[in-house]
Amino acid sequence: MAARSRSALVAASDRRFQSGVKVSREPLSGRGGGLAGGCFFFFFLNQQPKAMDDERNTVVITGFGPFGEHDVNASWVVVKLLSTMNIKEDLGVELLIEEIPVGYECVSSKVPHLWEIHKPLLVIHVGVSSRDNTIVLEGCAHKSGYTKYDIFGLTPPQGQCSLGENNRLENALDLKYISSEVNKANLDVITTVSTDAGRYLCEFIYYTSLSIDASRTLFIHVPPLNKTYSAEKMAACIKTIISVIIKDIYKTKLNSL
C-alpha cells in the first residue's frame, strides 16, 4: 500500500471535522525517540478529561482514519456519531472518542497511553471491513503475523505486537450473549461473532488492548457506509452494545462483593 504524506493525512483529517468540534493534535514519541510514524492523533470529548476515582466511568471508543480505498473510514464516521447520542445521560458513563491513524507505531504509542491516563471502564475499538455485511464482534487477536504495510509503509518489528506474551488472546466477555441481546433490541441491525479480525491494524490494536485487559476490551467491525446499514443505525447498535456490556460488568462486580 503506498504511504500517504503526513501533510495530506493531516489535511484530510481536518476536512472531516465539522465546526464546533474540539480538535486536539497530539504528536507522540514512538520507539527510538522519533514521532510515531509521523502520527498525529485527533480526538474530542463530550466533557473535559477529569481525574478518575476507583469507580471507573469512562468508555473509550476509537475509530480509524483513512486507508486504501477507504478515503472516508466508516468506523470513524460511526464513532463520531456516538458523541451525539446522549451516552452520559442514558448510560451514566463519560465518553471519549478518538481517531487513530492506520499505523502500527500510532497504535503502539497511543493505546497504552489511553488505558494509563483514563483507566477506562471499557475500551471499544471499531474498524471497517469490506468483507462484512453485519456488525461483527471479534473474539480474539494474535500477537504475530502482521506483514501488511500500514499507511506509512511500515510493519511492526518482527511482524508482531510488542505487548503481550501469548500468541493468541481471547476476549473475556460473553460475546455470544452480547450479540444475542443486541439482536433482540429491534434495531434492524444484525450482529455476529467472529474469530478472524484480519491480521492488519484492526487485529493489531485489538491484541494491544486485550494484552492490557481482556475483560474490558472489544473490537467491532462495521461494513462500509450504506453497504447494508446507515451510519446512524450502526452507531445505535454500538450504543446498545455498550449498554449490554456495562450492565454485565456491573452485575459481575456486584456478584463479587
How much is the pLDDT for 41?
47
- What pLDDT shows up at residue 250? 78
Is 1 a member of any domain? no
pLDDT at position 91 is 96
Total domain count for the chain?
Answer: 1
Q: Mean pLDDT per 10-residue run, the chain (257 residues)?
A: 41 38 37 41 43 68 97 98 97 97 98 97 98 98 98 98 97 98 97 98 99 98 97 98 92 65
Task: Confirm whether 191 is domain-assigned.
Answer: yes
CA dihedral (90, 72, 160, 29) positive or negative: negative
Which CATH number belongs to the domain containing residue 200 in this structure? 3.40.630.20
Tell me what pLDDT residue 255 has: 66
**Is 70 part of a structural domain of the chain?**
yes
Ordered DSSP codes for the chain:
-PPPPHHHHHHHHHHHSPTT---EE---B-TTSSBSTT---EEEESS------SS--EEEEEEE--BTTBSS-HHHHHHHHHTTS-HHHHH--EEEEEEE-S-HHHHHHHHHHHHHHH--SEEEEEEE-TT-SSEEEE-EEESB---S--TTS---GGGB-SS-SSSEEE--S-HHHHHHHHHTT--S--EEEES---SSHHHHHHHHHHTT-TTSEEEEEEPSTTTSS-HHHHHHHHHHHHHHHHHHHHHHHHHT-
Q: Which pLDDT value is given to residue 174?
A: 97
Residue 11 lies in a domain: yes
Residue range 112-153, pLDDT digits in tens: 999 999 999 999 999 999 999 999 999 999 999 999 999 999
pLDDT tens, position by position, 183-211: 999 999 999 999 999 999 999 999 999 99
Could you list the active site residues? 138, 202, 221
Rounded Cα gap, residues 74 and 183, in angstroms: 21
Domain that holds residue 58: 6-255
